[in-house]
Structure 1
């Protein structure tokens, strides 16, 4: 249906919205306190990893635009094990991401309504996201466009205010300058250990590119729009991320950044803008809701694809008149509500361990995507030796990032939890193969 197709603007903003979530505004502070000013290089490495995964995904989409995208390619290149793991690992990661984001959204909203119960806001936002996804791809794209515009505008404002502070156009009492990068222990106060330990937190703000891949096949011309959107998204994210973090580091001494609030609030407070807490809280709330909305779209589409590929019941492929896989959305919604309940039943630290494990699994899936590209054979796919080398380089850097979690106690538990999830899926796959369950579906 042509009227359900996305435009290049919508695809680009869906991409930025799906990636630019609350993680950037909150995890940046953790990354800075873990590594120090050298965190800028962490973000450069993360940008390379993201752009390479995005590059291989877009190339495969251009050569063969299909619904399910990376899961379908993984099945063709790596066999049943690739198709099964790629889809179900992504779905599991997405469910927990939604659970953490809906909980965060409720907490952000209590900033204005402290006497209202958290569960009420969680329920409202869950219903809101499900409703948006029931409206079809075109309406999903319009809503994501508005949300993304708000977040991009907010980051532009942060950058502009940072520049005004640096140039003394906004009066301030703090010392501001490049010297802040080399004070309090130097550029890398915690050495290589701190650098490696912060890699996961630097990569998390770049997660979510799979949603763009699945959205791109819904455009009017995937072969034309996908590479354009990829370049625009990478350019926007790298420019805004690096410039805002650089301005933050030369404006606010890195060792004064609190882990209890977004580090950008500290920067904005220097400007004397009234109600800055509410302003930033609204932006982070928007970021969390957009990430949750994009994750719901992604997990629904991949569950639909799993049903098409024998790795889930075929009833999950049923669509309504708006091209929405309704049963896949319903099952994903059930997973969302379970994740929300778990977020309240489990102690705070334990839930953080689970979300850390989810991050581990999410980026493990990027390794699968890169391996898929290396092994994917299609006459329309043009791969150079340089492409293969860069893909192996990205795989090595992701493996290094995941290994770096062993240096941080909470992330170490996430590392172990991530492997536990992989083990469970391996066991399920083995049993399904032995019992020929996939053939019966």
Structure 2
């Protein structure tokens, strides 16, 4: 079978050479799934998919809430977040390059931490991705209503939902091509925005004075709410970076997974740092931070759109709104892909209803795709009943869930490196110097972000939902384990 068509089911065996415990991913022969997932994503497509999932609502819309929390000091929050995510991305890249398998970091957690970890990691990530999908679709609907306020929120949400589902249902090659171009448009536009904003900051226009960086300090100072606000803002900022994990998930359908993962994760780390930190700095240099802040937590317009609106360039504001609309659709598209693939792997391992494991003739997990649109349905329902603060509520729940996933990824990495260092002959590819120590530092950073629940009401609510869902998952895993033990299936498939 050609490399680009071989099944993407193969998961490495446990350290003792046998599938490890409950729900072990299927063997390399891919029995039970026909041709399986198809390796057709190119290197460029996979890299852009990562940017597509990370450059979305968190930067273009959610930044207003973060600015309100910390003022100009939010720049430090974004810089810290960039460093934290860079570490997690590179460590995940090392693991994924060694094991480019269906189920990605969930299958790796199963192998190195135990079956329970694989079960919880994949279900938790699916849960967070589903919420993110709903969040991105809500954001896209807000952007549409910026042009046509009379359109009902539910109708706008439905239109975006149909679009992203249609792109994903055709085949993975269609998804990869679409996401590549959507991501290319928004990355190009963001670069153009940064150049234009920098020109206004340093040179101005004939009828617009040079702003310089006075707005960063002229209204209460650089950190108007105190140093503590930088930490509190992390509860919003980290959501902006969530989504880079889709690159690891896509490795199971990449033509050259080792090369793709190695370079894509590194590129994501520095690109996200530059885009987020530089863009936020320039936005706040142009517009006083209090006018960018969302105030009550309800975000009605992107700070990026307001930059051009406030300086009197309506045509540019319209163009910017189009770009951020594309960004939201692209992010929803990428997260739907990631959620459906992990849900499909759970079904294939017998850890979710069997129909979720089925693939269409084109290798698309249609049932898993349909189930992963649950977040869109919830978002539409909340919009229909006009529930206030939809965006901030969904964003906080998604962030807390993904923080738990990141902790499990980092724990998996420590166990992975312990095994890799003991058996170097089993592995090829790159290895991150001082990786285990970096994982511990990153884990402390993730816990610090989760601790914002002490101060932030939305995060407290999200923590309650997230921890309750984790408890449900552990009970569900126990039930599945007992059922399998009683049926005599024992450890694995």
Same fold judged by TM-score > 0.5?
A: yes
Distance 1:399 1:83 in 2: 20
Of 325-334 and 357-366, deviating more is: 325-334
| 1:54 aligned to which of 84, 89, 93 | 89
| 1:148 aligned to which of 146, 158, 183 | 183
Q: How does 1:189-204 map to 2 (within 5 A)?
A: 189-204=224-239
Q: Identify if the C-alpha distance between structure 1 residues 270 and 338 changes in structure 2 by more than 3 Å, giving closer, same or farther.
A: closer
Q: Identify if the C-alpha distance between structure 1 residues 224 and 383 changes in structure 2 by more than 3 Å, giving closer, same or farther.
A: closer
| 1:366 aligned to which of 383, 406, 410 | 406
| 1:85-104 deviation digits (Å, cap 9, x = unpaired) | 10111111111211222233
Contact 2:78 2:237 in 1 (8 A): yes
Contact 2:95 2:413 in 1 (8 A): yes
Backbone CA RMSD of aligned residues: 2.4
| 1:328 aligned to which of 359, 364, 368 | 368
Contact 1:97 1:355 in 2 (8 A): yes
Contact 2:208 2:311 in 1 (8 A): no
| 1:347 aligned to which of 370, 387, 390 | 387
DSSP-derived class of the 1:111 partner: helix
Distance 1:437 1:275 in 2: 65
Question: Does residue 103 of structure 1 match 2:101?
Answer: no
| 1:418 aligned to which of 454, 460, 466 | 466
Shift of 1:343: 4.3
Partner of 2:291: 256
Partner of 1:124: 159
Partner of 2:211: 176
Distance 2:449 2:270 in 1: 23
DSSP-derived class of the 2:214 partner: helix
| 1:28-83 deviation digits (Å, cap 9, x = unpaired) | 12212211222222111111121112112211121122111111001111111101
Of 237-246 and 345-354, deviating more is: 345-354
Of 276-285 and 193-202, deviating more is: 276-285
Shift of 1:351: 6.8
Partner of 2:68: 33
Question: Does residue 311 of structure 1 match 2:351?
Answer: yes
Partner of 1:431: 479
Partner of 2:276: 241
Shift of 1:180: 2.9
Of 194-203 and 326-335, deviating more is: 326-335
Question: Does residue 289 of structure 1 match 2:337?
Answer: no
Distance 1:387 1:289 in 2: 35
Partner of 1:404: 452
| 1:24 aligned to which of 53, 59, 73 | 59
Q: Identify if the C-alpha distance between structure 1 residues 182 and 107 changes in structure 2 by more than 3 Å, giving closer, same or farther.
A: closer
Distance 1:195 1:91 in 2: 29
Distance 2:202 2:172 in 1: 44
In structure 1, list runs of 5 or more residues that go unmatched: none
Shift of 1:346: 6.5
Of 274-283 and 66-75, deviating more is: 274-283
Question: Does residue 302 of structure 1 match 2:336?
Answer: no
| 1:371-397 deviation digits (Å, cap 9, x = unpaired) | 111112353177567111111111111
Question: Does residue 87 of structure 1 match 2:87?
Answer: no
Partner of 2:16: none
More helix per residue: 1
Q: Identify if the C-alpha distance between structure 1 residues 174 and 208 changes in structure 2 by more than 3 Å, giving closer, same or farther.
A: same
Distance 1:417 1:185 in 2: 36
In structure 2, list runs of 5 or more residues that go unmatched: 6-38, 295-299, 421-425
| 1:333-390 deviation digits (Å, cap 9, x = unpaired) | 3564345324434722367434412211112111111111111235317756711111
DSSP-derived class of the 1:348 partner: coil
Q: Identify if the C-alpha distance between structure 1 residues 172 and 22 changes in structure 2 by more than 3 Å, giving closer, same or farther.
A: farther
Distance 1:249 1:438 in 2: 61
Q: Identify if the C-alpha distance between structure 1 residues 334 and 252 changes in structure 2 by more than 3 Å, giving closer, same or farther.
A: closer
Question: Does residue 278 of structure 1 match 2:318?
Answer: yes
Q: If the length of structure 1 is used for normalisation, what is the TM-score?
A: 0.92
DSSP-derived class of the 2:221 partner: coil
Distance 1:277 1:339 in 2: 26
| 1:240-290 deviation digits (Å, cap 9, x = unpaired) | 211111222222222332414222223323654332332222122111111
Q: Identify if the C-alpha distance between structure 1 residues 112 and 257 changes in structure 2 by more than 3 Å, giving closer, same or farther.
A: closer
Aligned residues, how many? 441
Q: If the length of structure 2 is used for normalisation, what is the TM-score?
A: 0.83
Distance 2:374 2:197 in 1: 43
